[in-house]
Structure 1
Amino acid sequence: MKNIIITGAGTGMGLSMTKKFLANDWHVIMGVHNLDKAKGVYQELVQKYSPEKVTLKQVNVGDSKSVAEFSKEVNTENSHIDAIINNAGIFTGGQLQDLTEEEWDRTMAVDVKSIYLMTKAFVPGMIQRRAGSIINIASVAGLLGDYSMPAYNAAKGAVVNLVRSMALDYGPYGIRVNNINPGATNTPMFKENPETVKQSYRDASPLKKIAEPEEIANVAYFLVSDQATAITGQNIGASMGYGIWSGQPKQ
């Protein structure tokens, strides 16, 4: 059985990815920040897929000690890791002068440092086996600028370029590294927005719709699968078309 680690797996895109891989007979190691909140979902998955196919573990992906403890347990319990999806992330809004240093540092830790920590913990095993796939969840906000999102833009922009370096370094070992760049997606957090806000995002999309978490999960599964063996170092857009407009007026 193939083993995959998915962080931020208890809700939203991470949960959809978990379900997608479980449905295709993978063993999923769910990394979550809040164990109590994820226990209900975990029990539902265990009942549907069996305890052997899904494992729930707590990890603070931006903290080195937490990731070290997590990786020690995972590597002890599993003979190998085939894939990692660095999905856990946070959004921080506000102009630079209004952000606290703590907000800035936490955004960088969860959205960028986490990839460094998770890779450092698990890529040695992939190098030894000369096989593996790593996916980072970046964002269309890492490709372009947004109003009042400097911390988020900076963090996701770092991830957008990091994937290229990782792909160059690990390619010789048979390890592929890719990003998925979603736009607005119908996660529980996004659904909390007023309807006027949600409609404005639909209007901004050429497809006039918001992505569903399941659609992002489909992209993730494809990129990990043997159908994508020629793809590495790429930023794959899954944003319903955000970012394709030059900004020039319609003629």
Structure 2
Amino acid sequence: MKKLLLSLIILTLAVFTAACSSASGGEEETKKIKLGVSGSDTRIWDYIAEKAEKEGIEIEVVTFSDYVQPNVALAEGDLDANAFQTVAYFDTFIEEHNMDLSPIATTVLAPMGLYSEKVTSPDEIPEGGKIAIPNDASNGGRALLLLEEAGLIKLSEDYDGNLDLNKIIENPKNIELVEMVSAQTPRALPDVAASIINNGIAVDAGFNPTKDSIYLESETATPYVNIIAVRTEDKDNETLKRIAELYQEDDVADFINEEYKGSMIPTFIPLSDIGW
């Protein structure tokens, strides 16, 4: 009788222990990641979140309305990663704000465009016309390169890619460049001859960059490839690395090409190609 009772007790403890172990293991299998983006377009990350969910990774996409808070939130630990910025902007931002962040993967090239309600090509911009450009160092600098590519200005040979109007050495139409925060560039269209608008902001404003811009940035603009960024201490985190791998799979590239029709270009290149 005692042996039977002892056996029952041992069996009960074994079952209880196994149940607890199973429950605990189930909790550990689901890894939650908070990822920040700028703007309201979350289609790519919604698609990747579905893929990640099958591997026990829950991605919560947090949207922001500017280009500052996603990095601040990441640095302060409110996010695990963000994906909204070019490597050129990222490099400048972390240096200016002394943030210990690192990229773990490249994602897309989102071509910057020149838009207008008054003309249909850069050649039609009138003498002395005004063009709105972003006022931050990276995006403003990118805007100057776009204007040079469009044949409207010429920059000095030592131009470093950051916004500096003094680096304009030729301006045959005497174009007046009006600096403003990126989010304001679409709203400036009624008051200027043209406006240079970041891809994400243009989409949020209802534009299709490939159809509505009068000039679109070249696909070879590698300094402006977008990245996934994390805190440097987390750059080897297996879950974050797996999310980066999921992004760079062929089906995601196909989804981006189908969904965005050229306004977003999948650009999966080594970090060494962007200076990291």
**Same fold by TM-score greater than 0.5:** no
Normalising by structure 2, what TM-score?
A: 0.31
TM normalised by structure 1 equals 0.33
Q: Please tell me whether Structure 1 or Structure 2 has the larger radius of gyration of its CA atoms.
A: 2
Structure with the bigger percentage of strand: 2
Q: Which has the higher contact order (CA 8 A, sep 6+)?
A: 2
Structure that is richer in helix per residue: 1
